[in-house]
Amino acid sequence: MIKDMKDIVSLCKRRGFIFPASDIYGGINGFWDYGPLGTELKNNIRDLWWKAMVLTPPVGPDGQPVQIVGLDSAIIQNPKCWEASGHIGGFNDPMVDCKETKKRYRADHLVAYVISHYMDDDQPELKLIPVFEQNTPEEEILKKFKKLGLGASTENYKVIPFMDIENYHYTNPDNDHGMLHLEEGKSILRLRKDKLVGPDVKIPDTLTEPKQFNLMFHTFVGANATEDDKAYLRPETCAGIFLNFKNIIDTARVKVPFGIAQIGKAFRNEVTPRNFIFRSREFEQMELEWFCEKEDAPQWFEFWVDQRKKWWESIGMDLSKFHFLDVEKADLAHYSDRTIDFEYQFPFAYPDYDELEGIAHRGNFDLTQHQEFSGQKLEYMDPSDNTKRYLPDVIEPSCGLTRAVLGVLSEAYTVDESRPSGVYLNFHPSVAPKKAAILPLTAKEEHVPIATKLYMDLREEFAIDLDVKQNIGKRYARQDEIGTPYCFTVDNQTLEDQTVTVRDRNTMTQERVNMDQVASYLRENLKPAKVMAKKEG
Ligand code: GAP
């Protein structure tokens, strides 16, 4: 069944995962607050990444665990850092404004519908060229065609990227009976920009030329708000790693190859924040910069692609819903020699995919730039060969933490009309905000103290919910919607034989276990191997 983003957003708000930031003031576009359960979910994903990278890093090709150390650098760095990284001056998206509606569009997200031929021999009068945002539904396109008198079908139209309009011309090849064809390059008649009709208007010529738009938020450091005091909120966390490269090799007893990992907030003044938390203006990243020798870089690239696949699987993501995009040379970021994007079938993209994580071979671009701009030597000296000094290459698995939260929520969201909630979150236990709930069957004197004691006994080891209010059906429904794997209920039989019922979230089956066995039951059933076996079986 196709999952609907609207339903996921609404469950997130209803159950306290994610709220619009400044909700009581009508929100602020591109910013989100994580509620009690969203915070725990996000922290779990964050901690699992940190564990997989820093606490128990993977075993390398030589059979030894690889070496990775952590870092927590400042969000605001010396502005020269962003000149060196290419963000000042280069970190832009091309934007188009509509003079009529004052709306702003990403130029590279717009397409133009251009008629592919005219039947007239004579110089044709160029018709209007409607422009749409990518993925505009067909019925909306046809509605607009009708309004503009362009006919009832798009059959004779060619869809071209808005950014390419400059390159398109009409040609009139002699051998083609005077038919005019649209081709790249050769020209008789250039496509006229004043014929373009923007997405939300009926009249032509309201769109501006694409302009570059800097995505970095700025602020002023200190009391004087002059241009000289201008500083930037980091648009990615990796910069702090490169700035500390020398500090770390001088102090942390690391030897190339090794990695530095960092998790933290990043800020981009995205022009079109969209799809819930997918593209927001304040978000979190989990980045590893893996430093290695140039000739070993291709091998480490493959290693990290493989490791990252395993990690996503270990937190319950279904790799069959991933697409691994080897980014074409022309589309690579300015620093990258090769990038593989891990794309996931997010509900808003279905049946397509959108980016969840990128793994890039950054060469030694960053260290070279920072060495040049800072004037400080950043070379690594090989301890086994004092004459060998070099700037190592970098492989960078870079993942959005908040985007991972959306991926995990989307994967877990499961419609099941047979249960009262109609839906449950099938979280892998490792990410579930609550591993179990303790529910006294009634709010009676006898049930509540036993449930509270059980909760107190378990909470040191597991994230446990104690839920006393409402009838038991409603409480099960809530636990299903927040994705709690197990519910333990204290009832009248508990008073007689010290057993409680345990309800499995996915199968809704119940069995009885002894109260003093609850901890070992959880230890056993929350084990990854057990979870995987259940999934397969
Ligand atoms: N250091 C490399 C870098 O930042 P990126 O592809 O721009 O590369 C890496 O970002 C990851 O950060 C993306 O794959 C995505 O998961 C996340 N990300 C980027 N922009 C985001 C945004 N506006 N909102 C949420 N996550 C974002």
321-348 pLDDT, tens digit each: 999 999 998 778 877 889 999 999 999 9
Instruction: Check residue 163 and give its pLDDT.
Output: 82
Average pLDDT, the chain: 90
pLDDT one-digit tens code per residue, 440-451: 999 878 999 999
Query: Is the backbone peptide bond immediately before 351 cis, with ω within 30 degrees of 0?
Result: yes
Query: Which of 268, 308, 398 maximizes ligand 1 atoms within 8 Å of its Cβ, making it the mutation to test the pocket?
Result: 398
Strands (E), 18-128: 18-20, 32-34, 68-71, 92-97, 104-106, 110-115, 117-118
* Mean pLDDT on 16-22: 98
Instruction: Check residue 119 and give its pLDDT.
Output: 40
Ligand 1, atom 20: closest residue by C-alpha: 279
Token pair for 233: 């909120």
Distance between CA 327 and CA 82 in Å, rounded? 24
Say whether pLDDT at 1 is over 80: no
* Mean pLDDT on 373-401: 95
Instruction: Check residue 178 and give its pLDDT.
Output: 37
Ligand 1, atom 12: closest residue by C-alpha: 400
Q: What is the pTM of this model?
A: 0.84
Instruction: Check residue 176 and give its pLDDT.
Output: 42
Strands (E), 426-532: 436-440, 464-466, 486-490, 499-504, 510-514
Instruction: Check residue 68 and give its pLDDT.
Output: 98
Instruction: Check residue 175 and give its pLDDT.
Output: 37
Distance between CA 449 and CA 495 in Å, rounded? 11
**Which atom of ligand 1 is nearest to 357's Cα?**
14
Query: Which of 263, 305, 403, 410 maximizes ligand 1 atoms within 8 Å of its Cβ, making it the mutation to test the pocket?
Result: 403
Instruction: Check residue 273 and give its pLDDT.
Output: 86
Say whether pLDDT at 457 is over 80: yes
* Paired strand residues for 398: 287, 358
The gap between the terminal CA atoms of the chain, to the nearest Å, is: 21
**Which atom of ligand 1 is nearest to 238's Cα?**
1
Token pair for 261: 């990992």
Instruction: Check residue 185 and give its pLDDT.
Output: 47
**Which atom of ligand 1 is nearest to 279's Cα?**
24
pLDDT one-digit tens code per residue, 157-215: 888 888 877 666 555 444 343 344 555 544 345 566 788 999 999 999 999 888 777 88
* Paired strand residues for 286: 263, 399
* Paired strand residues for 189: 170
Q: Tell me how far the alpha carbon of residue 287 is from its chain's centroid.
A: 13
Say whether pLDDT at 123 is over 50: no
Which three-class secondary structure state does DSSP give residue 153? coil
Instruction: Check residue 331 and give its pLDDT.
Output: 78
Token pair for 75: 């969000």
**Which atom of ligand 1 is nearest to 358's Cα?**
14
Instruction: Check residue 132 and give its pLDDT.
Output: 97
CB 68 within 8 A of CB 292: no
Any idea which of 56-60, 116-120, 418-422, 493-497 has the lowest mean pLDDT? Answer: 116-120
How far from 434 is each of 146, 410, 415, 475, 479, CA to CA, in Å? 53, 18, 20, 14, 9
Task: Choose between 203 and 532: higher pLDDT.
Answer: 203
User: Over 227-248, what HEC string results?
Assistant: HHHEEEECCCCHHHHHHCHHHH
308 CA to centre of ligand 1 in angstroms: 16
263 CA to centre of ligand 1 in angstroms: 12
360 CA to centre of ligand 1 in angstroms: 12
Say whether pLDDT at 240 is over 80: yes
| Residue showing tokens 């696949």 | 309
pLDDT one-digit tens code per residue, 464-498: 999 998 999 999 999 999 999 999 999 999 999 99
Distance between CA 54 and CA 48 in Å, rounded? 10
Instruction: Check residue 121 and give its pLDDT.
Output: 42
Ligand 1, atom 7: closest residue by C-alpha: 236
* Mean pLDDT on 295-316: 97
Q: DSSP for 374-406, please give it.
A: H-----EE-TT-TT-EE--EEEEEEEEHHHHHH
Say whether pLDDT at 86 is over 70: yes
Q: DSSP for 419-469, please give it.
A: STTSEEE---TTT-S-SEEEEESSS-TTHHHHHHHHHHHHTTTS-EEE--S
Instruction: Check residue 170 and give its pLDDT.
Output: 55
400 CA to centre of ligand 1 in angstroms: 5
DSSP classification of residue 269: -
**Which atom of ligand 1 is nearest to 285's Cα?**
12
Ligand 1 site residues (CB inside 6 A) read 236, 238, 268, 270, 279-280, 283, 285, 287, 355-358, 398-400, 402-403
185 CA to centre of ligand 1 in angstroms: 35
Instruction: Check residue 194 and give its pLDDT.
Output: 82
| Percentage of the chain modeled with pLDDT above 70 | 91
Residue type, 288: L
Task: Choose between 499 and 351: higher pLDDT.
Answer: 499
Any idea which of 71-75, 88-92, 112-116, 270-274 has the lowest mean pLDDT? Answer: 88-92
Q: Count CB atoms within 10 A of the CB of residue 517.
A: 14
359 CA to centre of ligand 1 in angstroms: 11
358 CA to centre of ligand 1 in angstroms: 8
Task: Choose between 535 and 249: higher pLDDT.
Answer: 249
Ligand 1, atom 16: closest residue by C-alpha: 400
CB 77 within 8 A of CB 240: yes
Residue type, 111: V
